[in-house]
Amino acid sequence: MITLSGITKTFGYNAVLRGVDLHVDKGQSLVVIGGSGTGKSVLIKCIIGLITPDAGQIIIDGQDVTRSGHDKLLHRFGMLFQASALFDSLPVWENVCFRMLRSGQSRGDLRDLAAEKLRRVGLGPDVADKFPAELSGGMQKRVGLARAIAADPEIIFFDEPTAGLDPILAGVINDLIREITTEMGATAITITHDMSSVHAIADQVAMIHDGVVQWHGNIGALDQTDDAHVLQFITGSATGPIPTLR
Amino acid sequence: MSTGHITIDLDAIIANWRALDKMTSVETAAVVKADGYGLGAATVAKALAKAGARRFFVAVAEEGGAVRNAVGPGPEVSVFAGHMRGDTDTIGDLGLTPILNSLEQVTRHFDALPGHPFGIQLDTGMNRLGMEWDEWAAVAEIALAQRPTVVMSHLACADEPDHPMNAYQLDVFHKMTDGITVPRSLAATGGILLGKDYHFDLCRPGIGLYGGLPFTKARPVVQMDLPVVQIRHLDAGEVVGYANSWQATRPSRDRDPISGLRRRLDPVDVRQGHAILRQRTRATYWPRVDGLTDRGCDRPQRRPACVDPAWGSTNSGSTGRRVRHNWLRNPDVTWWALYTPDTRRMKRLLAMIGAATLGGFTTVGRIALFTASTFRHLATQPFYGREFGQALFQIGFLSLPVVGLTALFTGGALALQIYSGGARFSAEAVVPQIVAIGMVRELGPVLVGLMIAARVTSSIAAEIATMKVTEQIDALVTLSTHPMKYLTVPRVLAATLVMPALVGVGDIIGILGGYIVGTERLGFNAASYLQNTVDFLEQRDVISSLVKGAVFGFIAALMGCYYGMAAGRGASGVGAATKGAVVAAAVLILVANLILTEAFFSI
Ligand SMILES: Nc1ncnc2c1ncn2[C@@H]1O[C@H](COP(=O)(O)OP(=O)(O)OP(=O)(O)O)[C@@H](O)[C@H]1O
Ligand SMILES: [Mg+2]
């Protein structure tokens, strides 16, 4: 479904991605882990077309989007941004149904649809008419999640979906992501730092370090690996190949 | 052969770093200031990063770029000069770690880059850089709460192991820092050699890496092959060079390498056209750079220890990872730069002027492209009606009060001015006509244009820039919505369409202001005032006013959108975008006003 080869991206002097190769099959859930600032968000933005890589190739569903652009694919994507990125001039329900606002459906129907999507991320209907600025960070995150899945996309990107949520809600969100991939057959790429999320969501795990995919394998292989980077990440140890000053 | 060259042995630099690292049980950084002591900071840093160095020090933020580029994002690149005014962007963008030297720098850093890593330098008696007791006492608590990467100081006399200054500074450093939990660093090359007491948590050798004293066991790094232009005979007591900087203590033999070397490097001889002796010599030479409070264009180290004559041999067999510099073409070699006018500074100045000019052209070009793109998206589907409606309301309706007020007072003031000015040649009677012409042709459109630049341009720029920095624009794209269509087109179109109406209102209220002052204060007859105004105004005056309005509205909204979309990251990006947009809009409106006035009324 998605194949990356040799993706590089440098900001000024900061060589963030230095040749990333990655592959996800249709209907699979890939979880990307890696230290803060290693370029996970940048990687996702490259795939979705928000950032143009300096070199390398991105193939989505057989189309080389590196050159032809993403425009024709965008309606099949959904994305949750790390900082939610809700439109603060629109009420929550218009945020959730943003894609459908111009589809000709009545605003009343759309509002109901939004309430349904909000329920799936654990938000009551009263939230629908609020403005994003009136919500807590975790609530904003969940609205962002509802927006990402509102139009039933085929390919979904989640940038830290459970960061800032309490463990109970994190469990709800993990289940939701799992459900979207297993029941609806969507392909998902999720960034997370939360190891319990990794186990709940992932079919495949890729670890980014120093601008490349340091380790890639099935979720089952994650606990068996003796890769020093992965081990340090899982155990959260301060000593190891990953420096703590970043 | 009239130019020399220098061979830099990177393997030796790595070996020296490793050797110094072995002498301590703590982390060893590498100082690559002054362009890696003249040997090329990028090359040196890259080699040392490969060898395992994870922290680098440069003197000033400008040097950080080359090093960051060479070592990649991981390693820490610290700046001795700290966070100087104007360095914020460089430090932020390149992820540099400024070593803050004063209260002022601490304040600046915390203000401009909260949460960004930094170190602290204390002064323990050298009086070069760093905070002294009282300053440190004032900021220590706040600064330490932010977890600096290092708290450091520098030894003044570490080259001389027996010097009492060393123990004194060690004692002061202890007193200033004992009990803190942040990594501490005191030792550079000399400090490493002084022993374990001086090592603390981090050592940061500089000169030793490059084979310089006091690291006597260092592997030589730099080898110079250079031709001798002239060889002089010196008697004991004769002096050499600018300011008699060296005095021979014994008569020199014919081919004294020292005098030969000195003469060769002093361009005075060349200019005076002395006979040139074609003789090749080879010398091993350690350049020495004295960091930050340098005494300007100093000489290289004067100790004869730095010259190791090896006569008669030709070029060294440079193998392996050696880098060759042609030092006439490459003025980076420190001591060459020391002996010549500061060509690098001039080059940098030229480069800055060039970059600024280019930057100006780039902005003009980008705005032109942005305008073209706005028209393209205006002409194609979809059109966002709701957003257009909101923009009309925001730009048109909500601007009415401010437009009305400015026009009213200006019209009134105009009437007073014309009356008192006209009185000088008995032309008081023309007040209605001149107020009408002045308001409609000129002041109405310009005033309203500038008010809109202040009110609308700034709010558009701030809104879009905020959307940019909070990734809302990216989110639009992922939701199949083109930001130009959704944000720019509705606003620009609304401003262009609504501004003629605003200007019309402004014109009328301005005339009204004149009318009120004219009839209430200056004794004009109400009916004839209005009659004069209406009779005098031509259709062309009104049309020009409305056309100007449309153009100014277009400019105001376009600038807001352009600067908003081009905003940099963070809150400062929003501020800069707003400022840039308002200034650009105001200037362009005034320029466009002149051009349009010329177009309408030049005949
Ligand atoms: N638009 C940009 N301009 C300049 N530098 C950028 C930009 N976007 C990201 N970076 C830099 O790229 C690096 C990687 O950023 P990224 O956001 O991908 O990190 P991350 O792996 O997602 O980290 P985290 O887990 O903390 O979210 C950082 O050093 C960041 O400063
Ligand atoms: Mg991220």
Q: Residues B382-405: what's their mean pLDDT?
A: 92
Could you tell me if B59 and B79 are in contact, meaning their C-beta atoms sit under 8 angstroms apart? Answer: yes
What pLDDT sits at residue B273?
26
What pLDDT sits at residue B250?
62
Q: Give the span between the Cα atoms of A181 and B73, in whole angstroms.
A: 35
What pLDDT sits at residue A185?
86
What pLDDT sits at residue B390?
93
What pLDDT sits at residue B200?
94
DSSP-assigned beta bridge partners for residue B57? B31, B78
Higher pLDDT, residue B324 or B49 = B49
Q: Whole-number mean pLDDT of chain B?
A: 79
Q: Give the span between the Cα atoms of B444 and B282, in whole angstroms.
A: 79
- Chain B interface, mutation test: which of A9, A10, A13, most B Cβ atoms within 10 Å? A13
Largest CA distance in chain B: 110
Residue B353's CB: how many other CB atoms inside 10 A?
A: 10
For residue B172, give the CATH number of its domain.
3.20.20.10
Residue B91 shares a structural domain with residue B229: no
For residue A189, give the CATH number of its domain.
3.40.50.300
Residue B506 pLDDT > 70:
yes
Residue B124 shares a structural domain with residue B19: yes
Higher pLDDT, residue B234 or A104 = A104
Q: Give the span between the Cα atoms of A113 and A133, in whole angstroms.
A: 22
Helix axes B400-422 and B444-452, enclosed angle (nearest 10): 140
**Nearest CA of chain B to the CA of A221: how many Å?**
28
What pLDDT sits at residue B346?
55
How many A from CA of A162 to the centre of ligand 2?
13
Q: Phi first, then psi: what are they for B361, rounded to 5°? A: -60, -40
Q: Give the span between the Cα atoms of B361 and B354, in whole angstroms.
A: 11
* Count of domains forming chain A: 1
Q: Phi first, then psi: what are they for A7, rounded to 5°? A: -75, 125
Chain centroid to Cα B167, Å, comes to 40
Residue B2's CB: how many other CB atoms inside 10 A?
A: 10
What pLDDT sits at residue B233?
60
Q: Give the span between the Cα atoms of B206 and B190, in whole angstroms.
A: 9
Which residue from A49, A81, A243 is facing B475, i.e. has the nearest CB? A81
Residue B184 pLDDT > 70:
yes
Could you tell me if A160 and A191 are in contact, meaning their C-beta atoms sit under 8 angstroms apart? Answer: yes
Residue B201 pLDDT > 70:
yes
B100 Cβ contact partners less than 8 Å away, ≥ 6 residues apart = B82, B83, B106, B109, B118, B119, B120, B121, B143, B148
Is A45 exposed, middle or buried, given 0-12, 13-18 or 19+ CB atoms closer than 10 A? buried
Residue B44 shares a structural domain with residue B65: yes
Largest CA distance in chain A: 57
Q: From atom 25 of ligand 1, which residue's Cα is the shortest distance away?
A: A36
What pLDDT sits at residue B34?
82
Domain assignment of residue B244, given as a range: 222-309
Contact A79 B467 (CB under 8 A): no
Q: Give the span between the Cα atoms of A234 and A107, in whole angstroms.
A: 46
> Which residue does chain A place closest to B42, by CA atoms?
A13
Closest CA to B327 of B263, B265, B281: B265
Residue B299 pLDDT > 70:
no
> Which residue does chain A place closest to B385, by CA atoms?
A102
- Nearest ligand, CA A45: 1
Indicate which residues of B carry an active-site annotation. Answer: 33, 242
Which residue from B68, B471, B480 is facing A13, i.e. has the nearest CB? B68
Contact B72 A37 (CB under 8 A): no
Residue B304 pLDDT > 90:
no
Point out the domain boundary residue: B179, B210, B241.
B210
Compute the CA torsion angle A185, A189, A191, A195 (nearest 10 deg): 50
CB distance A39 to ligand 1 below 6 Å: yes
**Range in B236-240, B320-324, B508-512 with the lowest mean pLDDT:** B320-324
> Which residue does chain B place closest to A87, by CA atoms?
B472
Q: pLDDT grade, residue B224 (50/70/90)?
A: low
B356 located within any domain? no
Q: Give the span between the Cα atoms of A44 and A60, in whole angstroms.
A: 13
Strands B5-9 and A212-218, by their bridges, are unpaired
DSSP-assigned beta bridge partners for residue B152? B121, B185
pLDDT in tens, B524-562: 888 888 888 888 888 889 999 999 999 999 999 999 999
What pLDDT sits at residue B245?
56
Q: Residues B210-234: what's their mean pLDDT?
A: 68
pLDDT in tens, B434-481: 899 999 999 999 999 999 999 999 999 999 999 999 999 999 999 989
Residue B174 shares a structural domain with residue B29: yes
Residue B321 pLDDT > 70:
no
B21 Cβ contact partners less than 8 Å away, ≥ 6 residues apart = B28
Percentage of chain B modeled with pLDDT above 90: 47
What pLDDT sits at residue B285?
31
* Prior bond of B287 cis (ω within 30°): no
Domain assignment of residue A212, given as a range: 2-89+149-235
Residue B158 shares a structural domain with residue B230: no
Q: pLDDT grade, residue B57 (50/70/90)?
A: very high
Residue B312 pLDDT > 70:
no
**ipTM of the prediction:** 0.91
How many A from CA of B467 to the centre of ligand 2?
18
What pLDDT sits at residue B474?
92
Token pair for residue B48?
């040392």
Q: Which atom of ligand 1 is nearest to the CA of A34?
A: 21
A36 located within any domain? yes
**Range in A83-92, B99-108, B323-332, B502-511 with the lowest mean pLDDT:** B323-332
Chain centroid to Cα B66, Å, comes to 15
A24 located within any domain? yes
Residue B313's CB: how many other CB atoms inside 10 A?
A: 10
Residue type, B231: I
B28 located within any domain? yes
B160 located within any domain? yes
Q: pLDDT grade, residue B218 (50/70/90)?
A: confident
**Range in A12-26, A210-224, B234-248, B307-321 with the lowest mean pLDDT:** B307-321
B361 located within any domain? no
B378 located within any domain? no
A32 Cβ contact partners less than 8 Å away, ≥ 6 residues apart = A40, A43, A44, A189, A190, A191, A192, A205, A206, A207, A208
Strands B308-309 and B279-284, by their bridges, are antiparallel
- Nearest ligand, CA A158: 2
A240 located within any domain? no
Residue B357 pLDDT > 80:
no
A109 located within any domain? no
Q: Give the span between the Cα atoms of B74 and A14, in whole angstroms.
A: 9
Q: Is B446 helix (H, G, I), strand (E, B) or coil?
A: helix
**Range in A215-229, B188-202, B230-244, B272-286 with the lowest mean pLDDT:** B272-286
What pLDDT sits at residue B140?
87
Q: pLDDT grade, residue B283 (50/70/90)?
A: very low
Could you tell me if B182 and B150 are in contact, meaning their C-beta atoms sit under 8 angstroms apart? Answer: yes
Q: From atom 28 of ligand 1, which residue's Cα is the shortest distance away?
A: A37
What pLDDT sits at residue B349?
64
Could you tell me if B413 and B556 are in contact, meaning their C-beta atoms sit under 8 angstroms apart? Answer: no
First and final C-alpha spacing in chain B: 72
Residue B291 shares a structural domain with residue B427: no
A105 located within any domain? no
Point out the domain boundary residue: B182, B210, B238.
B210
Residue B295 pLDDT > 50:
no
What pLDDT sits at residue B243?
64
What pLDDT sits at residue B225?
53
Could you tell me if B151 and B184 are in contact, meaning their C-beta atoms sit under 8 angstroms apart? Answer: yes
Q: Phi first, then psi: what are they for B381, rounded to 5°? A: -75, 160
Q: Give the span between the Cα atoms of B118 and B130, in whole angstroms.
A: 13
Tokens 């979809």 -> residue: B382
B585 located within any domain? yes
Residue B226 shares a structural domain with residue B166: no
Q: Give the span between the Cα atoms of B347 and B353, in whole angstroms.
A: 10
Q: From atom 26 of ligand 1, which residue's Cα is the shortest distance away?
A: A36
Residue B401 shares a structural domain with residue B512: yes
What pLDDT sits at residue B498?
95
- Nearest ligand, CA A16: 1
Contact B474 A50 (CB under 8 A): yes
Tell me the HSE value of B202 on the side-chain side, using a 13 A CA sphere: 22
Which residue from B95, B476, B477 is facing A14, i.e. has the nearest CB? B95
Q: How many helices (H) and strands (E) does chain B have?
A: 24, 16
Helix (H), strand (E), coil (C) string for A155-200? EEEEECCCCCCCHHHHHHHHHHHHHHHHHHCCEEEEECCCHHHHHH
Q: Give the span between the Cα atoms of B281 and B260, in whole angstroms.
A: 9
Residue B25 shares a structural domain with residue B170: yes
Tokens 């980014």 -> residue: A208
Contact B471 A12 (CB under 8 A): no
Radius of gyration of chain B (CA): 35
Residue B522 pLDDT > 60:
yes
Q: Phi first, then psi: what are they for A70, rounded to 5°? A: -100, -5
Which residue from A13, A81, A102 is facing B65, i.e. has the nearest CB? A13
Q: Give the span between the Cα atoms of B78 and B188, in whole angstroms.
A: 14
Residue B220's CB: how many other CB atoms inside 10 A?
A: 15
Higher pLDDT, residue B239 or A241 = A241
First and final C-alpha spacing in chain A: 33
Tokens 């084979």 -> residue: B211
> Which residue does chain A place closest to B73, by CA atoms?
A14
The pLDDT profile of chain A, 246 residues, written as one tens digit per residue, is: 899 999 999 887 788 898 899 999 998 999 999 888 889 999 999 999 888 888 899 999 888 888 777 777 888 899 999 888 999 999 999 999 999 888 888 889 999 999 999 998 889 989 999 999 999 888 898 999 999 998 889 999 999 998 888 888 888 889 888 888 888 889 999 999 888 889 999 999 999 988 899 899 998 888 888 888 888 888 887 777 777 765
pTM of the full structure: 0.61
Length of chain B (residues): 603
Contact A45 B382 (CB under 8 A): no
* Count of domains forming chain B: 3
Residue B247 pLDDT > 90:
no
